[in-house]
Amino acid sequence: MSAESQKSLILKIALFATGLSGIVAEYILSTLASYFLGDSILQWTMTVSTMLFSMGLGSRLSQYVHRNLLEKLIFTEFLLSVTVAFVALIVYVLAAWTSYVGFFIYFLSIAVGAMIGLEIPLVTRINEAYESLRVNIAAVMEKDYYGSLVGGAFFAFVGLPYLGLTYTPFILGITNFSVAIWLYLKLKDHVEKRFIWRINLALGTSVVLLLAGLFFAKPIVLYGEQAKYKDQVVFTKQSAYQKIVLTQWKENYWLFINGNQQLSTLDEFLYHEPLIHPIMQLVPHATNVLVLGGGDGCAAREILKYPQVEKITVVDLDPMMTDLAKENPIFLGFNGNSMNNPKVKIINQDGFQFLEQTQDFFDVIIVDLPDPKTVEINKLYTNSFYELTKRQLRPNGLLITQAGSPYYATQAFRCVERTMQSVGLNTVPMHNQILTMGQWGWLLASKETDSETLRKRLQRLDFENVRTRWITKEAMMMITSFGKDLKEVGEIEINTIHNPVLQRYYLKGNWDLF
């Protein structure tokens, strides 16, 4: 390989590393925006779009760089490497001090995009000394795009699930920095002498920053994480699907997923007992029970109180959650080691896909999923989903789903109800006051028994044959009784995959009352 070809190759490898680290930085910022600001579809769309727009700004700015292209490329590479490495730490620190963290997330997205956009024309102009215009343009763009693909694959399959948001940015920043050093050393003869000391200073400063950041990354992230919660954070982990956090106050624990409370050991029985015991009492012959969600193991704990149950299938997308439920001492303390019971079978799969593929039929189906804040979760509250649950119910089987708050998100609650009824399910709404979450609701459904008969049967339950902490016959009278809706709901649409109205209803809820 000629000397010119070697220099051209070095430039292209540098751009490949830029594309790789830059796209991962944007994915990290998109994930952080979803975590801190909510609405993952909106945040991912706007963060990536902002980056692409900023690449255009960077490309435009490159026309004002007339001299010392190589030196300015090296400086930009060093700056990009450090910025990429520190994006997560910057966001976590700022989250502890300001409620305007979204502004800084998008500012960082603009900065990263602008640097990538600046580098591409610089590399192209430097490389024109080694290749014809036709080959030069194609090769430079090719390497940047290839780097983006590798970066995306790395983030999805290695970075996020195994390294998390703490160390993934540093791995990519250090990788890009190493390539930048190689570029500098190989092309040092082309660098003007007056820039040598400046580049060496930038190199040394970058090394110190990267090493210090890598060393202090974990405590800094924990500091920023702690600022998000009022109680002591005792566990935090980023899985491939979600951020899982446990906090502690005195002897009680709170479980959060992506910043949203899922349960508190202080009062989780006020949620799980109405979810499990009424439906299990109405189907006394139930031997095969399906739980969609419920990866924390609390639903399975309550179902195991019924000796006639032979098999409990828990379908939860995230293996990290179910592993915690099986192994973590805190989870084992509140779920009663239920997920290690031989009757419990755990399947880590999307609930919708499971219902499409399963050949099993169930006496009871319990849907214990997060609220429909995102399009991905919304799918599990659609008419298509309820058609699948209806199909897999045995004769005289029953279905229950958590349906959010009938008071704080009245339209969303009524949308779930109407959507279930649209596929021929007869429903009975229930609700209860959960101390740490406010008023919460469920919908119990049958494909054979009419709603009024179901309601009367629910109100006659006495639970004398099962050990409970709260639920009683008198409680059933209360949780099956509703006053008028606090908010005029108007005409409610049916929730479908192609028209996810439930998500909009949920986000428009009157949560300020809580």
CA quadruple 445, 451, 456, 459: dihedral positive or negative?
positive
* Residues with Cβ within 8 Å of residue 79, at least 6 apart in sequence: 115, 202
* Residues with Cβ within 8 Å of residue 193, at least 6 apart in sequence: none
Amino acid at 231: D
Pairing of strands 243-249, 232-238: antiparallel
Single out the catalytic residue among 144, 296, 368, 371.
368
Q: Rounded CA gap, 306 and 304, in Å?
A: 5
Q: Rounded CA gap, 266 and 264, in Å?
A: 5
Six-digit token pair at 300? 């399975």
The three-point CA angle 484-487-493 to 5° equals 100
Residue 478, H or E segment: helix 473-479
Is 368 a residue of the active site? yes
Q: Rounded CA gap, 45 and 394, in Å?
A: 42
Q: Rounded CA gap, 22 and 434, in Å?
A: 44
Pairing of strands 362-368, 393-402: parallel
Read out DSSP for 226-290?
HHT-SSEEEEEEE-SS-EEEEEEETTEEEEEETTEEEEETTTTHHHHHHHHHHHHHH-TT--EEE
Q: Rounded CA gap, 232 and 226, in Å?
A: 7
Q: Rounded CA gap, 297 and 301, in Å?
A: 6
Q: Rounded CA gap, 178 and 81, in Å?
A: 9
Q: Which residues are catalytic?
A: 368
